[in-house]
Amino acid sequence: MAEQESTPNIVRPVLVTIEGVQLQSNFAANWDRVKVFQAKPDDLLLATYPKAGTTWITEIVDMINNKGDVEKCMRGPTHERVPFLEFGAPKPLPTGIEQLAITPSPRMIKTHLPYQLVPKSFWEQNCKVIYVARNAKDNVVSYYHFDWICRLEVLPGPWEEYLENFMKGNISYGSWYDHVKKWWENKDRHRILYMFYEDMKKDLRKEVLRIMNFLEKELPEEIIDKIVHHTSFEVMKENPMANYSTVSGAGFLDHKTSHFMRKGSVGDWKNYFTVAQNERFDADYKKKMAGATLKFVDEL
């Protein structure tokens, strides 16, 4: 892929280390305010490593909260319905913190922060958190494509280089391995529902019921069916309030080479990893995940 020059005035950020984790510079610039963010007890934090299913979980939760009312869920694009806690960008875009200040409660809040960087107030306020994890191989493929099309992300470079950087944790939000493990190890210390993208792909209805249970919500069967339908990849891909097409016009997301809603599948990594890359990745994965009780599937 080649860098598109349609919006030359947007300068790509670089990586900066914040408390031992690599973050892209526009987000790092916000760090002092993010760290002291004051959560409210009814805030619901939706946490993921980037590209693990944030938009999907947002749509599901919003549909549950709105009892399956599609029109209400189309009141605004995803990024308005769920402020992104650590978001920062060149002016005039508001930061996540600025957006949160004017968002009425109860709020859904998006974050990609690793467990140890989550503002303390979320734990002090005993907030509920839904964490979604996705297998490393599909996650890195999705992240690579997104970093090419999103001009607010660090320039990804060639695939083979990107894959090495992912394995080293040398990309924004750092190590995938540490991210999924730390959230997993701490899930029982707080009100955290730990979910897997692959489980959602396998049996979405079952996972919607898990989320409803966690949120202490009950809905009639036909509304649950409606939620499952509305949050399928095929329907969300065509939904302008969920597919990020509204930000394309501003030049931040270049949908010419790929899409935010790209493939939405499990196992797409097979189209990108060479045999040699796969072997090297597996050997490294074994070392990094040694001793972890956390298990992923990368095909269904």
Sole binder of ligand PPS in the list 24, 26, 135, 142 (CB under 6 A): 142
**Minimum distance between the CB of residue 56 and ligand PPS, rounded to whole angstroms?**
4
Nearer to ligand PPS, 125 or 255 (CB): 255
Sole binder of ligand PPS in the list 262, 278, 280, 284 (CB under 6 A): 262
Of the candidate spans 34-42, 166-174, 220-228, 258-266, the one that interacts with ligand PPS by CB under 6 A turns out to be 258-266
Q: Under the phi-then-psi rule, with left for phi > 0, alpha for psi from -120 to 50, and beta for the rest, what region is 194?
A: beta
Nearer to ligand PPS, 167 or 261 (CB): 261
**How far apart (Å, rounded) are the C-alpha atoms in residues 174 and 15?**
10
Nearer to ligand PPS, 26 or 48 (CB): 48
**Minimum distance between the CB of residue 54 and ligand PPS, rounded to whole angstroms?**
3
CB 153 within 8 A of CB 172: yes
Q: Which of 79, 112, 190, 230 is catalytic?
A: 112
Nearer to ligand PPS, 64 or 236 (CB): 236
Show the site string, 37-66: x = touches ligand PPS by CB under 6 A, - = not.
-----------x-xxxxxxx----------
Q: How many CB atoms sit inside 10 A of residue 219's CB?
A: 17
Nearer to ligand PPS, 142 or 245 (CB): 142
State the number of binding residues for ligand PPS (CB under 6 A).
21
CB 118 within 8 A of CB 47: yes
CB 204 within 8 A of CB 132: no
Looking at residue 11, what DSSP letter applies? Answer: P
3-state helix, strand, coil in the chain (%, to 5): 45, 10, 45
CB 128 within 8 A of CB 215: yes
CB 130 within 8 A of CB 104: no
Does residue 137 belong to the site contacting ligand PPS (CB under 6 A)? no
- For residue 24, the one-letter residue type is Q
Sole binder of ligand PPS in the list 22, 24, 111, 231 (CB under 6 A): 231
> What SS3 class is residue 96?
helix
**Geometric angle at alpha carbon 130, from 124 and 135, rounded to 5°:** 130
Is 255 marked active-site? no
Binding residues for ligand PPS (CB under 6 A): 48, 50-56, 138, 142, 145-146, 231-233, 236, 261-264, 268
Q: Where in the sequence numbering do the catalytic residues fall?
A: 112
